[in-house]
Amino acid sequence: MKNLPATLGRLRHSVRARLMGMLLIVTTLVLLFAGTALLIHDLSVYRKSFAQDVSAAASILATSTAPAMAFDDHAAAQLHLSSLRARHDVQIAAVYDAGGHLYESYVADGVEPAATALPGSRSQFLGGERVEVRQRIEQNGEFLGTVYLVFHYDLRNRVVAYLQIFAGVIIFGLLLALLLSYSLQATITRPLAAIAQVARQVVEKRDYSLRVPGRSDDEIGIVISGFNRMLDEVRAQTTALTSSNSALTAQIAERQAAEEQRRQSEKVYRAVGESIDFGIWITDAEGRCTYASDSFLKLTGLTQEQCDTFGWTTLLHPEDLEATLAAWQSCVRTNGPWYREHRILGVDGQYHPVLAQGVPVLHEDDSIQGWAGINLDISRLKQTEEALRLADRRKDEFLATLAHELRNPLAPIRNAAELLSVPSASEQQRQWSRDVIARQVNHMALLLDDLLDVSRITRGRMELRREFVRLSQIVNAAIETARPLIEARRHSLAIHLPPGEDLGLNVDPLRLSQAMSNLLTNAAKYTAPGGRITLTAAIDEGGLRLDVADTGIGLAPGAASRIFEMFTQVEGAAAHSQGGLGIGLALVRGLVELHGGTVTAASAGLDLGSCFNIRLPPSALISHMPDRGIAPEGLLAATGGGHAVLVVDDNRDGADSLGLMLNAMGYAAHVAYGGESALQLAERLRPRIAILDIGMPDLDGYEVARRLRSTEWGRRMQLVALTGWGQKEDIDRAREAGFDLHLTKPLNVAKLQRYFATIGGLQATAASSEPRSPA
Amino acid sequence: MRRPGPAWRCIGILLLFLCAAPLAQAQERVDEAVVKAAFLYRFTGFIEWPPVEDASEEFVVAVLGSETVARELEGILARNTVRGLPARVRSLRSVHDLAGAQMLFVGDGYSGSLRDIAEGLRRPVLVVSETERGLDDGAAVNFLEADRRVRFEVSLPAAARAQLKVSAGMLAVAVRVRR
């Protein structure tokens, strides 16, 4: 109860204040009413009695002055008038004779004298504070004169006095009311304050065991006991609610956790479903699609609603429609799983093969709820299937052809062998037989070689052995191989090579000439006897270009791109064919692509001849020569000037080939296969240039460079690093070790050549020695 | 109005000097008579006569020795009643005609003895005189002059002899009251 004053203070503004206010207002009102009524009553009584009083005074005066008037005795009249002096409220007392003339008068101090003629009769009360009265003086019925009196009717002083008394009464009454209300309020507000205090504590502390003390039999007592009973009830209900609430909270948390788990799980499953092309689908028990993924809707251009009403069936391929509908009806009838491949028309106008697969979803009671499943995009699968089928067919054809091709030489071989075994055979006949056998076996060997090469290329096992060769060598080798067939079919062969110096190539001579001979053989095969074959070599910005044109059967439009595929032979070409496995052009393409080049075929049409074209990139050329007129340095051979160049590489082939190339360019190349031997060789030769490999077992390139730089003669040398490592830090490291140039493998010859050109005097003189051709 | 000329004015002033005294004296006597007649009439209001058996039908005021007063009084009484009765003036040649009168005014024109009259009266008659010795001679009320006005004096013993009661109001305005 320590806050009681505060509580009471609060109460003062409520119950107590209202009680007190009411009491004060009522008291004031009652007093005001009573006072006003009394005032009105008093004033009217006062006025009446005053009027009577003045009338009586006038009457007495009239009687007493009657003799004076009767006998014209001024002194007596004056005497009687003066007797009114005792009355302070008399302002004028006058007697007028019967003619209305002033006879005698008495006038109080400070008042104007009485009028000489009797004033006209007006109302008795004049202007609130003046009262006049007239009284006839009669004697024996004779009118002797008139008494005229004017009184001061002191209404204001009376009212003021009255109000003073009234104010006193009101103040006293209010004080009394205040005192009374204080004592009354104490009996009401104190219990109320106690209730309020307990109520606030209950609210603040949530302690429903608190009770309001005190007991009385009046209404307050009823309120207190009612309040306490209410607290009992609240306590009981709160306890019940709290326990119920905690149970509910636990349940809700449990459900939320379960719901969250379910949602996560659904999110995962949905993500799995949606990640598939073309998503998932869900149907109801009648098979109506209730959901289809966006990817499916995007594919078909259908809306979800159109899917609901079997709109997707209108997009089925006509060949699939009947079977799919029948399968779907059967599925719905048997409540079985759904599995169906069909083609669906997409918005792109194409039919997309789709695998629709799903399972029935059951209710708790095993009744069907619907189906759910996926639409799987199987177009790639179908393409693969198709490609496999095609490849399979080609393989079958190839095997048949192979068998035929392998079998063909066997008949002449058997005949020759039979002939050899005949004792009577002449030596000429035996020689013929040996020739036949040798020729046919060679043919078979060639076939088998092609077969093995194609197999190697297909498996990525073919490795090129690039060398420095001249174009004429390649061309000659190819013509040499094809010449027997060309001559046998009486074709004419024309060869056009670029004018000027023979071109230097960095290619595998064997494989490139093999590719060219295949093209020549091909041309010979598919050209009617006596045809014309032209081989043209040319150089342009794209590199080297080799064309083999013929006047043969030509190619059907569209066939040009297919003929380079394995096991492909042009349909209808069989009649012209001289046999073969159909792998020749595939082999050509493989070999050219290994060189970084391309091969294409072109034809004006069937029987209009065809032209096969090989392109090799500029990197296959030793010198780059876009335009001989503008680049007069010409071939590599013209530039060396016989300067000594030291080539160091632990890879002997690498070192030898670079040496050979430098020799071809006109330098005097000396080769070392290790760091130590390189240092000895350099000491002896004092070359101007050294090209060093970095990774070497005994001394690495950096160390060799540092040691060379430490000698007096070595400081003037040009050091070139040639390495497989081309990162910036490798270049920086090479520069630190003293290298002037850093080149990466495989060597860009043009770059090296440009570098040499920047070093003065290196190509001053003509080649002194004939460049050696590579082996 | 035409203004009088200067000559007429001189004659008027001269006449005034010649005739002023006797004229004023005469007028004075007439005014006095008027006042006295009025007083006589008013005395009846302040005096109570004893009840009499042979109540007469009229109030008679006898006047001796003053024709003027009698004439004036006659005029007053003709217009008024006295004590509810019609009143009249009886001018007397002698005192023997006094029968029936309730009031007797003896003017100074009476040559006889007032005393004799007063003593001879056996009835309640208010005797009013206007001589200096009026009260001594037995009159109850006597007129006299004071400050050039008509006043009166009262003798209560005389009134009592005549069985008359004089009201206090009248006594209050009397110049003298003999007790």
pLDDT, position A346: 85
Q: Are A77 and A57 in contact (CB under 8 A)?
A: no
Average pLDDT of A321-332?
A: 85
Q: Are B117 and B101 in contact (CB under 8 A)?
A: no
pLDDT over 70 (residue A127):
no
Least confident piece of the model among A34-38, A263-267, A374-378, B115-119: B115-119
Residue carrying the six token digits 């009374």: A180
Percent of chain B with pLDDT over 90: 3
- The distance of B7 to chain A (nearest Cα, Å) reads 39
- Whether residue B39 lies within 8 A of chain A, CB to CB, comes out as yes
Query: What residues of chain A lie within 8 A of the CB of B49, using their CB?
Result: none
CB contact (8 A) between residue A67 and residue B149: no
- Whether residue A142 lies within 8 A of chain B, CB to CB, comes out as yes
pLDDT, position A766: 34
- The distance of A120 to chain B (nearest Cα, Å) reads 28
Query: What residues of chain B lie within 8 A of the CB of A68, using their CB?
Result: 172-173
- Residues 6+ away with beta carbon under 8 Å from B23: none
Least confident piece of the model among A28-37, A185-194, A486-495, B56-65: A185-194
* Chain Cα centroid distance, residue A458: 45
Q: What is the rounded CA–CA span in Å between residue B151 and residue A70?
A: 11
Residue carrying the six token digits 């595998």: A508
pLDDT, position A370: 87
Percent of chain A with pLDDT over 90: 8
β-pair partners for B144: B151
Residue carrying the six token digits 């799919």: A324
CB contact (8 A) between residue A140 and residue B169: no
Per-residue confidence at A255, pLDDT binned at 50, 70, 90? very high
Pairing of strands A644-648, A668-672: parallel
pLDDT, position A356: 86
* Closest alpha carbon to A74 in B99, B107, B45, B147: B147
C-alpha distances out from residue A324 to A278, A309, A315, A327, Å? 18, 16, 12, 5
Least confident piece of the model among A35-39, A92-96, A752-756: A752-756
Q: How high does pLDDT run on average in chain A?
A: 81
**Angle at Cα A442 formed by Cα A439 and Cα A443, nearest 5°?**
85
Q: Which ipTM value was assigned to this complex?
A: 0.79
Listed in sequence order, the DSSP H helices in A460-610 are: 471-488, 509-525, 584-594
**Angle at Cα B48 formed by Cα B42 and Cα B52, nearest 5°?**
125
Average pLDDT of A701-713?
A: 88
Least confident piece of the model among A9-13, A14-18, A494-498, A643-647: A9-13
Average pLDDT of A280-285?
A: 85
Q: What is the rounded CA–CA span in Å between residue B171 and residue B179?
A: 11
- The distance of A77 to chain B (nearest Cα, Å) reads 9
What are the tokens at B127? 């005797």
pLDDT in tens, A526-535: 888 999 999 9
- The distance of B80 to chain A (nearest Cα, Å) reads 9
Inter-axis angle of helices A509-525 and A471-488, to 10 degrees?
30
CB contact (8 A) between residue B149 and residue A66: no
- The distance of A80 to chain B (nearest Cα, Å) reads 11
pLDDT over 80 (residue A5):
no
Residue B173 has its nearest CB partner, among A71, A140, A141, at A71
The alpha carbons of chain A give a radius of gyration, in whole angstroms, of 70
DSSP per residue over A681-702, as a string?
Answer: HHHHH--SEEEEES--SSS-HH
pLDDT in tens, A482-501: 888 888 889 998 988 887 77
Q: Are A307 and A317 in contact (CB under 8 A)?
A: no
pLDDT in tens, A601-615: 988 888 888 999 999
- Whether residue B152 lies within 8 A of chain A, CB to CB, comes out as yes
Least confident piece of the model among A189-193, A313-317, B107-111: A189-193
β-pair partners for A545: A538, A615
CB contact (8 A) between residue B152 and residue A139: no
pLDDT, position A550: 92
More reliable by pLDDT, A407 or A701: A701
pLDDT, position A772: 37
pLDDT, position A771: 37
pLDDT in tens, A716-763: 888 999 887 777 788 888 888 889 888 877 777 777 777 777 775 444
Query: What residues of chain A lie within 8 A of the CB of B42, using their CB?
Result: 70-71, 139-140, 142
Residue carrying the six token digits 């966006």: A294
- Residues 6+ away with beta carbon under 8 Å from B175: B144, B146, B151, B152, B153
Least confident piece of the model among A535-549, A629-643, A646-660: A629-643
Per-residue confidence at A536, pLDDT binned at 50, 70, 90? very high
pLDDT in tens, B141-176: 998 888 888 889 999 988 888 888 998 888 888 888
- Residues 6+ away with beta carbon under 8 Å from A771: A636, A637, A663, A664, A665, A666
- The distance of B46 to chain A (nearest Cα, Å) reads 8
CB contact (8 A) between residue B173 and residue A139: no
What are the tokens at B100? 């029936």
Please give the order of strands across the beta sheet that includes A718-723: A668-672, A644-648, A689-693, A718-723, A741-744
Query: What residues of chain B lie within 8 A of the CB of A73, using their CB?
Result: 151, 173
Query: What residues of chain B lie within 8 A of the CB of A82, using their CB?
Result: none
C-alpha distances out from residue A419 to A264, A410, B11, Å? 87, 14, 234
DSSP per residue over A566-625, as a string?
Answer: TT---TT-TTT-----S-HHHHHHHHHHHTT-EEEEEESSTTS-EEEEEEE-GGGBSS--
Average pLDDT of B50-75?
A: 82
Query: What residues of chain B lie within 8 A of the CB of A66, using their CB?
Result: 169
pLDDT, position A263: 92
* Closest alpha carbon to B102 in B117, B82, B80: B82
Query: What residues of chain A lie within 8 A of the CB of B35, using their CB?
Result: 72
Per-residue confidence at A424, pLDDT binned at 50, 70, 90? confident
- Whether residue A76 lies within 8 A of chain B, CB to CB, comes out as yes
Q: Are A677 and A650 in contact (CB under 8 A)?
A: no
Residue B169 has its nearest CB partner, among A66, A141, A142, at A66
pLDDT, position A638: 38
pLDDT over 50 (residue A634):
no
- Whether residue B145 lies within 8 A of chain A, CB to CB, comes out as no
pLDDT over 60 (residue A768):
no
pLDDT over 80 (residue A378):
yes
pLDDT, position A1: 44
- Whether residue B143 lies within 8 A of chain A, CB to CB, comes out as no
CA closest to B153 among chain A residues: A71
Residue A71 has its nearest CB partner, among B39, B81, B83, at B39
Cβ atoms < 10 Å from Cβ of A354: 26
Average pLDDT of A196-214?
A: 83
- Whether residue B86 lies within 8 A of chain A, CB to CB, comes out as no
Q: What is the rounded CA–CA span in Å between residue B84 and residue A160?
A: 54
Picking from B142, B152, B173, B177 by the largest number of A CB atoms within 10 A of its own CB, the best residue to mutate is: B173
CA closest to B171 among chain A residues: A67
CB contact (8 A) between residue B42 and residue A140: yes
More reliable by pLDDT, A132 or A638: A132
- The distance of B42 to chain A (nearest Cα, Å) reads 7
Max mean pLDDT among A397-411, A464-478, B11-25 falls in A464-478
- Whether residue B105 lies within 8 A of chain A, CB to CB, comes out as no
